[in-house]
Amino acid sequence: MSSRARLIRAAVAVLDRLPPTLDPFIWTVAGVASYCTSGRRRAIVRSNQRLALSTRSGSKNVGGWRLELSTYRAYYFYARYWVEVLRVQCLSPEEIVLAVDPVRAEEFVVRRTALQPTIVVLAHVGNWEWGGAWASLACNGVTAVAETLEDSEMTEWFLAARRRLGMEVVLTGGDVARTLLRALREGKLVALLVDRDVSGTGEIVDFLGTRVPLSSGPGVLSVMSGAPIYPVGTYQRRGKRQEVRFYPPIIPPQEGSREDRVKEVMRQVARALEAIVTEEPGQWHNFQRYEAEIDQESR
């Protein structure tokens, strides 16, 4: 077993013995420590936070204490994410569902109650794992795509953790599109994290003032299946509450070539992701360099 996998399992065992009242203390200490010791990565996080804050404010002159506070908050909320991901392994399904406050979820819940094919797109914001657990337990299951990690034992741990919550997980690397289209034909819910393009073949879109590649999966699946896309923000709130907020659905166009329809859907997906990220920039857990393909100023 890898050292990271052993550490994760040990942390779950320790949390199971500690009262949940200690969780905020644990993630606060972990967040401060990570922020103070991350060095080079902190500059990447700061750059990403500048993109989100600039888009939110409409000004490129974002800096000083405001930018640094948002950078620290990214570490704080990421530490909270990890404590919650470990803690949720110790909770009952009822406790998981009752910790969530759905916002504008009525249309989505009706659709899932009727077992109609549905696509959800999310960003790495707040606690998407908890949001996925809520949807799986309260809305007739979830089929999610997960990245195959270099550490195979960490991949197995995440698979087991998500399956425990009723999620069906499809790993990258195989015929993912065919598997997801089959799930949609069967009336299932497909959830996709799309603010990072792990395949390297994403659709270039306008996002946070730059031109970046986003995973084109939502556009392809929606156009081919006819299923609507529901953008969802999963936010960490006070009192250890989780907010699952639904944004207006994206309906795939019926006219034009398939390529043009996919591009249009992805344009709308990018706008929705912007709204999700800029609602809570400090909860955007993007610790990887966000390379712009084309700077908008040079177009």
For 118, the token pair is 């549905």
Range of 128's domain? 3-288
Mean pLDDT of 5-32: 89
* 177: three-class secondary structure by DSSP: helix
- Has residue 17 been placed in a domain? yes
> What pLDDT, on a 0 to 100 scale, did the predictor assign at position 298?
40
pLDDT at 294 over 50: no
- Has residue 162 been placed in a domain? yes
Confidence of residue 289 (pLDDT cuts 50, 70, 90): confident
> What pLDDT, on a 0 to 100 scale, did the predictor assign at position 55?
93
Confidence of residue 8 (pLDDT cuts 50, 70, 90): confident
Tokens 């990258």 belong to residue = 172
Q: In degrees rounded to 5, what are phi and psi of residue 17?
A: -100, -10
- Has residue 216 been placed in a domain? yes
- Nearest alpha-carbon partner for 246 in 131, 138, 130, 165: 131
Mean pLDDT of 17-27: 93
- Has residue 254 been placed in a domain? yes
Q: Of 22 and 203, which is predicted with more confidence? A: 22
Domain count across the chain: 1
* 119: three-class secondary structure by DSSP: strand
- Has residue 295 been placed in a domain? no
Spatial separation of the C-alpha atoms in residues 198 and 172, rounded to whole Å:
9
pLDDT at 291 over 60: no
Tokens 């087991």 belong to residue = 160
> What pLDDT, on a 0 to 100 scale, did the predictor assign at position 198?
67
Polymer length of the chain: 299
In single-letter form, the type of residue at position 171 comes to: L
Spatial separation of the C-alpha atoms in residues 242 and 232, rounded to whole Å:
13
Contact 197, 215 (CB under 8 A): yes
- Has residue 299 been placed in a domain? no
Per the prediction, the chain carries an average pLDDT of: 89
Instruction: Specify the pTM.
Output: 0.90
- Has residue 28 been placed in a domain? yes
Spatial separation of the C-alpha atoms in residues 174 and 28, rounded to whole Å:
39
Q: What is the pLDDT of residues 150-209, one digit of tens each?
A: 777 778 888 888 888 888 988 877 788 899 999 999 999 999 999 887 666 678 889 998
Edge-to-edge order in the sheet of strand 203-207: 203-207, 210-214, 294-295
Contact 228, 219 (CB under 8 A): no
- Has residue 18 been placed in a domain? yes
> What pLDDT, on a 0 to 100 scale, did the predictor assign at position 4?
72
Spatial separation of the C-alpha atoms in residues 7 and 196, rounded to whole Å:
26
Q: What is the pLDDT of residues 48-64, one digit of tens each?
A: 999 999 999 888 788 89
**Beta strands in 178-279, from DSSP E residues, in sequence order:** 189-193, 203-207, 210-214, 229-237, 241-246
Spatial separation of the C-alpha atoms in residues 99 and 134, rounded to whole Å:
9
pLDDT at 249 over 90: yes
For 232, the token pair is 């969802």
Q: Which residues of 32-71 are buried (b: 16+ CB within 10 A; e: fewer)?
A: eebbeeeeeebebbbebbbbbbbbbeeeeebeeeebeebb
Q: What is the pLDDT of residues 62-107, one digit of tens each?
A: 889 999 999 999 999 999 999 999 888 888 999 999 999 999 999 9
